[in-house]
Every structure is written in structure tokens, then in C-alpha cells.
Amino acid sequence: MADALPDNVPANTGPAGGKPPLFGLSFLDNLAEMTMLRQVGLMVGLAASVAIGFAVVLWSQQPDYRPLYGSLAGMDAKQVTETLAAADIAYTVEPNSGALLVKADDVARARLKLAAAGVTPTDSNIGFEILDKDQGLGTSQFMEATRYRRGLEGELARTISSLNNVKAARVHLAIPKSSVFVRDERKPSASVLVELYAGRSLEPGQVLAIINLVATSVPELSKSQITVVDQKGNLLSDQTENSELTMAGKQFDYSRRMESLLTQRVHNILQPVLGNDRYKAEVSADVDFSAVESTSEQFNPDQPALRSEQSTNEQRTASNGPQGVPGALSNQPPGPATAPQQTG
């Protein structure tokens, strides 16, 4: 009977007493079969994934901070922090930009608290409010003129700082004392220092606007006596360069407008005949902006004309000589006049 068993019966290839997986997890057997380098790499990747997961969870739980003020420049930082601490408002300061950050829900309340405490951004420039201060009885005329000039400098600096690209500005006026002698008369001058935002610059038109603003604010101040400099020491008020650039820009704009006008005329002529998108027209205008001045005098030889005339009139009148008897009697004044007491 044993010989009658078929030979093609599959034999049991597994071990008779099979070893169960480690801790009931089959992938741990595969991990044990890996090399040491792969095991270390797998453990490092697993640890990094866990750390990133914890960081994302912690970051999502942090409050959203919003800028309360872009910078603490012009403000009392100690008073700001004391006011926020008294109101129990959490804040932080950005180390790179210096911006004051508070929670998004506390922005409105923090601004109200600071405004109630009188903590607001102040301008460092002193304007005409300097004239509101009481002046002593013995204040000299020199001190009064100096205060007025200082107030005018502050007002001009505030006006220039209101431009978009200008962060801050300082104005220095040199107003000489007036003199009664014409030969000793001196014209005033001014210098303007502008601090621009990072990555921004002033166009020639804006520089010319600043020059006109200062020139029209000070009596007898000409545009050529105004100097505009930025915080990097670049001279912006070169009158010759600005005038040439302005003229070149106007000429360029005029040429472009002329080309556009001629191109539109060509379109109006060809479009009804050829149709849309069946032609291409382009005009290049070369405009000659040179100007020539000439003066001429013409005379008609056939008709006599008076080219020049000169006349001299002289008149003499003979006067009578001195009359009367010479002496002391003739030089005496006449006697007092008498009026009659009775009228007939």
C-alpha cells in the first residue's frame, strides 16, 4: 500500500515547528533582516517625521500676531510696554524690523489703550507750534527770528515727508540778515536731506517739485540756491541735468504721440479696404526739435523811409537884472500893512 502512493504529492516545505513573528508583527522580521546602515537610516527618518509632526502641531496652536505699529520710532518704548502690561495684553517685538506685534484679537483694544494713555507716534520735527510757547520779556530779535526759521524748517520737513517715497526729511534754511546797502545784500539758500525707503528713489519730477516747494515758501529764494541730497549722499538737485532730462522726456513723449496718431490714421485708411488682421502698419517718427532764431531789418529803396531822427530843442529867456537903489534901505522888508478903522 505504501508503494501505491503517488510520487507527485507536494511535500511540506516549511519547518515542522514554525517560529511565530516577533511581537506578532511581520515587518519586524524584515527589519531584523536589513543591514545595520538601513536600520539606522530608517530610524533617523522616523524620528525626523515625528519631530516635524510635533512642530506643526505646536505652530498651529500658537496665536496669530499682527503688527500694532510698524516701528517704535518716535515713541516712548518704556511707556508702550508699561501700558500694554497694565492692560494684560501679550506683545512681542520683531527683531529684524522692530515692529510691535500683538495678538490679532487684541489689536483694536491695544490701540485704544495706548491712545487713552496718550502714547501715539510723534513727529520729531518741530513746526510753528514753537511760536505758541511763552517768550520772556527780554527776548531779543535774534531769538525771535531763529524760532521762526526753526518752525519754518519743521513745517517744510513735514510737508516733504508726506511724499510716498520719502521716509523722513530735514530742511536747513540760511536766511541772511537784511541790509540797507544794495551791495551787501545776500540771497537766502536752503538744503534738504531726504531719507528714502529701502529700494525706492525719487524721480527728477519729484525732486523738482521739492525744489519748487521750498523756493516758494521762503521769500527771495531762487531755485538755483536749493540743494537736495539723499541719505546716501547722492546729489539730486543738479539743475542742468534735471532740465535736460525733463526736456528729453517731453520730446520723447511728443514723438510717441505723433507715431500713435499717424498709425491710427493709417489704420483708418486700410481697415475698410483690407479688413481686420489683414495688414500691419507701423510708423516711426523722427522729429527735429532744433530751433533757430534770426533777426533781420529790411528797407524799401523805392519808398523813402525815415531810418533815424535826432532833434535838439534849445530855448533861452532873457531875465531883467536887479533894480532899485543899492544899499541897506532897498534890502529891508516892507512895513506891516494897516487896515482902515472905518469904511465909507
Q: Report pLDDT digits (tens) over 261-320.
A: 999 999 999 998 888 888 888 999 888 888 888 888 777 777 776 777 888 888 877 666
Given pLDDT bands bounded at 50, 70 and 90, which one contains residue 44? confident
Lowest mean pLDDT among 142-151, 231-240, 250-259, 334-343: 334-343
Can you tell me the distance from the alpha carbon of 172 to that of 24, in angstroms, rounded to the nearest whole number?
86
Q: How crowded is residue 178: how many other Cβ atoms within 10 Å of its Cβ?
A: 9
Quick one: pLDDT at residue 229?
A: 92
Quick one: pLDDT at residue 2?
A: 44
**Unique residue bearing C-alpha cell 494897516:** 338
Max Cα separation, the chain? 206
Given pLDDT bands bounded at 50, 70 and 90, which one contains residue 21? low
Q: Report pLDDT digits (tens) over 203-249.
A: 888 888 899 999 998 888 888 889 999 988 888 887 545 566 677 87
Q: Report pLDDT digits (tens) over 78-128.
A: 778 788 888 888 877 777 766 778 887 778 888 888 888 777 666 667 766
pLDDT for residue 341 is more than 80? no
pLDDT for residue 339 is more than 80? no
Handedness of CA 126, 132, 134, 137 (dihedral sign): positive
**Unique residue bearing C-alpha cell 507536494:** 10
Residue 50, all three cell numbers: 515625528
User: Dihedral angle at the C-alpha atoms of 197, 198, 202, 203, nearest 10 degrees?
Assistant: -140
Quick one: pLDDT at residue 15?
A: 45
Q: Identity (one letter) of the amino acid at 127?
A: G
Exposure letters 25-44 (e unless 16+ CB within 10 A, then b): eeeeeeeeeeeeeeeeeeee
Q: Report pLDDT digits (tens) over 148-190.
A: 888 888 889 988 988 888 888 899 998 888 777 767 678 889 9
Quick one: pLDDT at residue 241?
A: 57
Q: Which of 112, 146, 114, 109 is nearest to 130 (CA)?
A: 146
Given pLDDT bands bounded at 50, 70 and 90, which one contains residue 27? low
Q: Which of 123, 58, 117 is nearest to 89 (CA)?
A: 117
Quick one: pLDDT at residue 154?
A: 87
Quick one: pLDDT at residue 1?
A: 42
